[in-house]
């Protein structure tokens, strides 16, 4: 399968703690993207990290990419209840037309 | 407000009905996508349109028929669907050539239930 694997599948932490979600993939990539999906809503793009980048920040979000290990992580610092959502990594398929392939996601719950 | 609007938000239809899903983007993007999101399965790409031309049909059954009259509008025509077609159907748009090099902007989806 070309699809990435996110782990954990579900994560529950207390508000204020940091949350780390991981994504592994099997094929080479040009870039990797992270998205968030709140319940009943569409996906929202968070960060795009290119294959020649190792780390990227956006507010309380930090994404790392290790192409040698074919893995990426998303760190949310000082979590808030509003961060409760599903988080997906996505990267370009290298078979056929260039298209985004999404993983199954991590369901993150922030407990107040 | 994501700039991508999908209607209707919810749709219940019988297997013999014909209905259409609509998507409109106000972002000036030139690529539009249909995805299917089923419970406990990864997001599945269905169709890609780039400058109104279909560039990807991911082996989707013919009971799903897309239409893209211009770069801002995308439709998904449905007919004789099956119960397993019940899912959340998401529309997205992006700049670029319809690949994965640009972030995609999603609508909030149409929750489809087939009776």
For residue A82, report the phi and psi dihedrals to the nearest 5 degrees.
Answer: -70, -10
Question: Which residue do the tokens 């399965």 mark?
Answer: B41
Question: Cα(A105)–Cα(A38) distance, rounded to whole angstroms?
Answer: 12
| Distance from the Cα of residue A92 to its chain's centroid | 14
Residues of chain A with pLDDT under 70: 1-4, 93-98
Q: What DSSP string describes B14-65?
A: -TT-EEEEEEEE-S--SEEEEEEE-TTS--EEEEEEETTEEEEE-S--TTEE
Which pLDDT score is estimated for A5?
Answer: 80
Contact criterion met (CB < 8 Å) for A43 and B103? no
What pLDDT sits at residue A1? Answer: 43
- Residue in chain B lying closest to A30 (CA): B101
Is the preceding peptide bond at B71 cis, omega within 30 degrees of 0?
no
Out of B42, B58, B107, name the one closest to residue A42 (CB): B107
- List per-residue pLDDT tens for chain B, 115 residues long: 679 999 999 999 998 889 999 999 999 999 999 999 998 788 999 999 988 788 877 789 999 999 999 999 999 999 999 999 999 999 999 987 656 678 999 999 999 999 9
* Residue B115, number of CB atoms within 10 A of its CB: 10
């Amino acid at each position: 399968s070309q699809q990435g694997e996110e782990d954990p599948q579900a994560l529950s932490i207390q508000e204020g703690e940091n949350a780390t979600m991981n994504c592994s993939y099997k094929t080479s990539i040009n870039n990797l993207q992270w998205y968030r999906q709140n319940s009943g809503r569409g996906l929202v793009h968070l960060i795009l990290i290119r294959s020649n980048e190792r780390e990227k920040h956006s507010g309380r979000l930090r994404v790392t990419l290790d192409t040698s290990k074919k893995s990426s992580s998303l760190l949310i610092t000082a979590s808030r209840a509003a961060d409760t959502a599903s988080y997906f990594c996505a990267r370009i398929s290298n078979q056929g037309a260039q298209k985004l392939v999404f993983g199954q996601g991590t369901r993150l719950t922030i407990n107040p | 407000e994501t700039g991508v609007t999908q209607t209707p938000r919810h749709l219940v239809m019988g297997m013999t009905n014909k209905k259409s899903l609509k998507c409109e983007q106000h972002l000036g993007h030139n690529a539009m996508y249909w995805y299917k999101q089923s419970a406990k399965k990864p997001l599945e790409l269905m169709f890609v349109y780039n400058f109104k031309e279909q560039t990807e049909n991911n082996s989707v059954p013919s009971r799903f028929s897309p239409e893209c009259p211009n770069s801002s509008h995308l439709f998904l025509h449905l007919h004789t669907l099956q119960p397993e077609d019940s899912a959340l159907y998401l529309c997205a748009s992006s700049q670029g050539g319809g690949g994965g090099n640009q972030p995609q902007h999603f609508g909030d989806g149409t929750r489809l239930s087939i009776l």
